Every structure is written in structure tokens, then in C-alpha cells.
Chain A
Amino acid sequence: MATLGEAKQMILDPAIRDWVLLPIMVVMLLVGVLRHHITVLITGTPKKPQLKAVRESKALMRGSQLRAFRNAIPPHAFASRKAFLTEAYDQGKYLKNPNAPKEGVPAPNPMTDPDMMEGMMEGMKKQVTNMVPQMLIMGWINFFFQGFVVIKLPFPLTLRFKSMLQSGVDTRDMDVTWVSSLSWYFLNLFGLSSVFTLILGDNNGNILYILGLHHYNEPIY
């Protein structure tokens, strides 16, 4: 097994650094900033929820808060609140539409509910603004820089990583630690998140946001 010795050292042309390595990084940075601003632009103001719907959810929250802080109030206060809320719930005082039949009604089809459609459209819009630029950059790199070896990792890896790090370069004997241009793109894609956090704030740095996957693991409070 060859080590990272001098014998295997390749010399890279500084022109590769100036015209491949740095441009890819800078373009990805700028596209990330642009993506952030486009997302801000096309995200409309959140739709105002209906008054009745808010009342229903707040009433439910009130119940669960009473349950959570049961030890913080005197017993008689707890008992009277409990009685009041139980009665209100039983009568359906706070329901969004109290006249709706109680059970046996199937859930409405989300496709026909305009509120749900709106929410889905928002998600789709964000996903598109996230994915399209990334695919464009990938196409750009594949078209102009295919087969460039741009940089070397400072740590050794097993052969298994060869296909991952040297995509686009088909050489059998090159050391695994050399990185091709397309793989440099992937390194940037995953690694620039901290830069976005620093310059854009918020959650922009999160890789899940960049890939449009953040809907799947939002914390539920």
C-alpha cells in the first residue's frame, strides 16, 4: 500500500486552481446567496388562518397546558378549570364548525382543500428553487470540467471511496485521495453549509434545506 509519500506526488498546474477549483467554489457560494434571495422573494406572506380554526387549536393547547402545569396551581383552582374545560369540550364550544357530524366522516381529500393546496404549492416552489440551480451547476461542471483532477484530500481513504471521489476520472492506479472536479462540487455542496450559516443566518446552512428535505424532520413542538 503506497503512502502519501513524495514518490507518488503529482504536480497540479496552478491554472487548474485559478480556472477550475476557485470558480466552482465561488459559483456555488454565489448561487447559494442567490437562491436564498429568490426564496425570500417568491415566498408570499403566510396566509392568515381563520379565526375559528385558531380558537379551536388554542382551546386544545389550553387543555394540554393545564395538564402540564397541574402541580403549579392549587387543587381547587385546578378542579374548577378542569370542570370548565371538560364541559366546553363536551359541548364542542370551541370547535371550528360545531355543526359537523361527529364521527364516521372520512377525512377530506387534500387535493380538493384549497388551504392544503396552497401549502403544497409553497413546498413545491421551494423545492424547485433548491434543486434547479444545483442541477444546473452539476451540468456546467460536467460540461466544462469533466475529468479534471483539482485537489487532494489531506487524509488517506480506502479504495471504496474511489468511485465517490473520482467520478468522471477513469484511472485505475491514481491514489484515492485525489479529487475530481465533480467530487469537488459534492464536497462544496455539503461543506459550504457553514459559510451560508455565517453570511445568511437562519437555517440556510442546513444541508436539508439545500436539498429541500427539511419538511421531513421538522421538530414538532
Chain B
Amino acid sequence: MSADAQGSGTEDVHKYVPMYMAHNAKTMQFARAGLAAISGSAAGILGLKNLYGFAFYAVNWVLISFLLLAIKTQFKPHLFFKGGAKDIFTDGFIGGLLSYILFHTFLYGLVHLYQ
């Protein structure tokens, strides 16, 4: 199955049930949302500045992507996402970054800016 699913083209559409795909995407989105909020807050409280903040996000992103890959999909991403591992590592990166920036800024401001 996983080997078949890698093929491209419109006919593959029938191999995935839209309802389940939507559920998978939602589960992943939920994990991502948690990551953005929590890691952003952590970075803000730690007082990370400049590029360290973004590096922290990148590290966390890779970490949680790997955890999703290992635990949620048991290293068989093609059973869960049309794009396979690529989907897990790229989907929602920018949206998560926006949330991360908000929480980073917010907590940084509360902890380190206002006295």
C-alpha cells in the first residue's frame, strides 16, 4: 500500500478517504497549534533574542515533526498523508511561525520588558 500510494496522478485520490484525511490533518494541526503556543511562550520566558528565537522554533519544529512521524504514523507517513513525510515536515510552517512570534513577543514583553 505504502509503495502504491507514492505514485502521483488523479487516480490516487480514490485510495484516500477524504474524511480520514481531514481527521489526520486536524490531528496534526492540533499538535502544531500546541507547539506554536507553548514553544513561543517558552522562548519568551527564556528571553531568547534575535535569531535564537527563530532557531528555537526551527529546532522544536523538527523535533515535533519527527515525533509525529515516529509515534503517530509509526514511520509510515504515506498511509496517513498524501504527500507522505514531506507533508509532515512542511505543512503549516508559516502559520505556526506567526503564532510563535505572537507568543514569543507577548511573553517576552511581559517578563522582560515591563518591570
A contact set with B: CB distance below 8 Å: 4, 11-12, 14, 17, 21, 25, 64-65, 67-69, 150-156, 179, 187-188, 190-195, 197-198, 201-203, 205-207, 221
> How many chain B residues have a CB neighbour from A under 8 Å?
42
Closest residue on chain A to residue B99 by CB atoms: A194
With contacts A68-B14, A197-B29, A202-B26 known, is A154 near B53, CB below 8 A? yes
Q: Does B36 contact A (CB under 8 A)?
A: yes
B37 surroundings in chain A (CB, below 8 A): 194-195, 198
20 extra interface residue pairs, beta carbon distance < 8 Å, beyond A17-B109, A154-B105, A203-B29: A14-B115, A25-B106, A67-B11, A69-B14, A150-B109, A154-B43, A154-B44, A154-B48, A154-B49, A154-B108, A155-B49, A155-B54, A156-B50, A179-B105, A191-B101, A194-B96, A197-B30, A202-B26, A203-B26, A221-B18
With contacts A4-B49, A155-B49 known, is A195 near B109, CB below 8 A? no
Distance, CA A12 to CA B96, complexed state (A):
28
Is there contact, CB below 8 Å, between B99 and A191? yes
Distance, CA A17 to CA B95, complexed state (A):
26
Distance, CA A191 to CA B57, complexed state (A):
14
Interface set, chain B 81-115, CB cutoff 8 A to A: 95-96, 98-106, 108-110, 113-115
- CB-contact partner of B33 in A14, A65, A195, under 8 A: A195
Interface set, chain B 4-40, CB cutoff 8 A to A: 11-16, 18, 21, 26, 29-30, 32-34, 36-37
Smallest Cβ distance from A161 to chain B, in angstroms?
12
Distance, CA A207 to CA B53, complexed state (A):
23
Q: Does B51 contact A (CB under 8 A)?
A: yes
Distance, CA A11 to CA B15, complexed state (A):
59
Distance, CA A197 to CA B11, complexed state (A):
32
Is there contact, CB below 8 Å, between A191 and B29? no
Is there contact, CB below 8 Å, between B33 and A151? no
Is there contact, CB below 8 Å, between A194 and B33? yes
Distance, CA A187 to CA B53, complexed state (A):
16
Distance, CA A64 to CA B33, complexed state (A):
37
B16 surroundings in chain A (CB, below 8 A): 221
> What are 25 A-B residue pairs whose CB atoms fall within 8 Å in the complex?
A4-B49, A12-B114, A17-B114, A68-B13, A152-B113, A153-B105, A154-B104, A154-B105, A154-B108, A155-B49, A179-B105, A187-B102, A190-B99, A191-B101, A191-B102, A191-B103, A193-B95, A194-B36, A194-B96, A195-B99, A197-B29, A198-B30, A201-B26, A201-B30, A207-B95
